[in-house]
Structure 1
Amino acid sequence: MVLPRSKDQLTPTQVAVIVCSYLLGSGTLSLPRVVTSEVGTPDGWLSVLIAGFLFMWLGYIMAKLGAYFPGKTIYEFGEEIVGKWLGLLISIFIIVYFLSELAFETRMLVEITKTYLLENTPREVTLALFLFIVVYIVVGGIHPIARLFGIFLPITIIVLVFILLLGLKLFDINQLRPFMGQGIIPVIKGILPSTRVYLGIEGILIISAFTQNGKPFKKAVLAGIALPMLLYVMVMIIVMGSLSVEGVSIRIFPTIDFIRSYEIEGLLFERFETLLLTIWILQIFTVIVSVFYVLVTGLACIFHKREHAFIYGILPVIYILSLIPRNMNEVSLWGDWNNQYFLMLCGISFILLLIQKIREKR
């Protein structure tokens, strides 16, 4: 059964904005530490760049897979490719992954908010408020979501680039030398942890149902991945060039510490970490909205109901799951677990495309 879709299709620009918004998540704050701790050299930015090109290729694969089944999500066309029962198992796997990712992103949002902005506010209160706002947006459907993202994304990019450039007075190119001083092996080791910031391209398998599939859609997907990739590389280079490899490795959120380490006198703001956290909250909010939407869409497809039937029912589950981790170490382990299953989902997409191509030749 194919759920009814809106007659108004997403434009290529809206697709690019949604993909880009989905990818600009919590990795902005912790990426330098996660990658540098694994690489151990100043070449972590190169690992992020290589991972970005790999995921542009994976994004293209997902877009091509969705192009075979106009108006359908992976929850629907998965059954057409591998059969009803195996397709159902894949759908359940994807839903469990999205549920876990949603709980993780929500808890990250609450932790950062409590640590840096609302120290005396209980996590439970912050979590409940954020979830109700998310529900308000998701109830409107994909098109209000796309319009909201179109407002948030330019603000996020402008503020992030502005704040990073202001800190260039701390930047020392020597902190990035020697280039590949220990060869290619450390760079390769950094590719896997770099993949965490590209969690989100799997949303392509759902939003393809709301587009006119073809070259514009595929180009929009590639553009939506390329922009976050360039921003993440910029963050890696500037933060590492300012704090050094050792300085980045010992900080939980090195991007915040980098911005805290400089002041600009004479401007409206002299310290900018609050400004960064504000736009980060806007951006992580868009990630949570995206994951929530694709989650309820999957439940609607499996049970053949309207999405609204699951929007409110899934809230208690997300609330409880988000509060399970006891500290940031457990939250980080949860993120690592999600990363492994995300890579499995990418593999499933690749296999589905191969099977579809074989079927097409027959």
Structure 2
Amino acid sequence: MKPFDYADEKIGQKEIGFALPSLVIGVSILSLPRVVADTTKFADGWVSVLIAGLLSLLFTWITATLVSRFPNQSFLDYSSKLISKPLALSLTLFMILYFVLFTAFEINYIAILTKQYLLDETPKEIISFVFLLLVIYAVAGSRAALFRLNILFLPIVVIVLLILLIGALSVFDPKHLFPLFKTNWMGYLKGVKGSFLAMTGWEILLIYSALIRPPVKAVKPAIIGMCVPIILYLLLYIVTIGVYSNIVTRNLVFPTVELAKEVEIPGGIFERAETLFFTVWIMTIFSTASIFYDVSVMTISSIFKKTKKAIIIFILAPIIYVISMLPKSFIEVTNFGHFISFMAYFAAFIIPALLLLIAKIRRIREDKEGMA
């Protein structure tokens, strides 16, 4: 059967507004309450999550503002105009490595969690391989369809998460939230660091800049889209602390999963609410892994312009699979995630900020043609 080709492969405002929160609500949602509770006292972590959210909005604005100045240009093209071609190529290779490693991390993580909670007798290698095949199938198709898939998934994800949070209120104890503001400033900063890295995802705008139409109008939907995970993370943290308290939360490996176990859905539709949560969570990981795989392909295509998309996809597939299988234990996977988080500082924070600063110094303004 011949695949359907979209007449318009451009990314509109709606696609941007749905894609960013779909990326952010990923593996970090499982451990975020523990990471923040580990550095703060009582429910003070909400301050760290809020500050991290505001910072993420700032860097989303920085990135969207940067790409709006270079409509219909790849990351390699417009970075070459701002810095030398060799430096631009080096940054592009770094972004490829970052996206490939991130995709491998997502595939490894979902295999570990699926084996632990859903398919305990299935080898992790098989789970990873099957999931990677699904991601390849999604990336090999229309890029517009991949983004429109987020429009379908995100409302389902948000609704299910809200249902779980509301259901957990039955065992919510407000006493666990008090007293307030007992954390020192260093604890708040560490909480901001952990929360901030959990909200990355806007760096895909650097690569998709060539497809955004019109790029000058990408700022507003990007900001609005990022508000969704920030609000959800705030609610998730407060509800988790209210149910388990700070001391218990910091000792749970995956507090969000444990929270889902506390929920009883009326009518007996699901005897185990965490099964519903995992189903929805797998949807978000699928969206995240697919888009990061796709930006890896798109970034490589900007260097090797004559190479077909399908060839790049199938060259990357075994590389990603082998990398995803390197960490064996959960501790190794966690360390792998810390390494990727270190790379995220450059990909999501330093690179967009420096390029925008250089663009402002050189007075490169928005291309008026991009507004049409």
Q: Could you say whether these structures have the same fold, taking a TM-score greater than 0.5 normalized by the shorter chain as the test?
A: yes
Counterpart code for 1:255 = T
Deviating more after overlay: 261-270 vs 153-162: 261-270
Question: Partner of 2:363: helix, strand, or coil?
Answer: helix
The alpha carbon displacement at 1:164 in A equals 1.2
Structure 1 unaligned regions, length at least 5: none
Inter-partner Cα distance in structure 2 for 1:15 and 1:9: 11
The alpha carbon displacement at 1:270 in A equals 3.4
Decide whether the 8 Å contact of 2:104 with 2:320 is kept in 1.
Answer: yes
Distance 1:264-1:137 versus aligned 2 partners, 3 A rule: closer
Distance 1:247-1:306 versus aligned 2 partners, 3 A rule: same
Inter-partner Cα distance in structure 2 for 1:6 and 1:86: 35
Please give the residue correspondences for 1:166-177 in structure 2 after superposition, counting only pairs within 5 Å: 166-177=167-178
The alpha carbon displacement at 1:182 in A equals 3.0
CA RMSD, Structure 1 to Structure 2 (Å): 1.8
Residue of structure 1 equivalent to 2:309: 307
Inter-partner Cα distance in structure 2 for 1:85 and 1:6: 35
Residue of structure 2 equivalent to 1:141: 142
Residue of structure 2 equivalent to 1:24: 25
Decide whether the 8 Å contact of 1:19 with 1:204 is kept in 2.
Answer: no
Residue of structure 2 equivalent to 1:358: 361
Aligned pairs, how many? 358
Please give the residue correspondences for 1:175-186 in structure 2 after superposition, counting only pairs within 5 Å: 175-186=176-187
Counterpart code for 1:46 = V
Decide whether the 8 Å contact of 1:38 with 1:193 is kept in 2.
Answer: no
Residue of structure 2 equivalent to 1:320: 322
The alpha carbon displacement at 1:184 in A equals 3.8
Inter-partner Cα distance in structure 2 for 1:286 and 1:323: 20
Counterpart code for 1:268 = I
Decide whether the 8 Å contact of 1:263 with 1:271 is kept in 2.
Answer: yes
Decide whether the 8 Å contact of 1:52 with 1:198 is kept in 2.
Answer: yes
Inter-partner Cα distance in structure 2 for 1:158 and 1:258: 16
Render the CA deviation track for 1:43-64: whole Å, top value 9, x for unaligned. Answer: 1122111111101110111011
| Residue of 331, 334, 340 corresponding to 2:333 | 331
Question: Partner of 1:313: helix, strand, or coil?
Answer: helix
Say whether residues 1:285 and 2:286 are aligned partners: yes
Please give the residue correspondences for 1:135-214 in structure 2 after superposition, counting only pairs within 5 Å: 135-214=136-215
Please give the residue correspondences for 1:240-255 in structure 2 after superposition, counting only pairs within 5 Å: 240-255=241-256
Inter-partner Cα distance in structure 1 for 2:23 and 2:239: 23
Decide whether the 8 Å contact of 2:44 with 2:183 is kept in 1.
Answer: no
Scaled by the length of structure 1, the TM-score of the pair is 0.95
Distance 1:266-1:6 versus aligned 2 partners, 3 A rule: closer
Distance 1:342-1:266 versus aligned 2 partners, 3 A rule: same
Deviating more after overlay: 70-79 vs 235-244: 70-79
Inter-partner Cα distance in structure 1 for 2:10 and 2:121: 44
Scaled by the length of structure 2, the TM-score of the pair is 0.92
Residue of structure 2 equivalent to 1:275: 276
Inter-partner Cα distance in structure 2 for 1:42 and 1:97: 33
Question: Partner of 1:21: helix, strand, or coil?
Answer: helix
Counterpart code for 2:324 = S
Structure 2 unaligned regions, length at least 5: 1-5, 366-372
Decide whether the 8 Å contact of 2:69 with 2:216 is kept in 1.
Answer: no
Distance 1:249-1:115 versus aligned 2 partners, 3 A rule: same
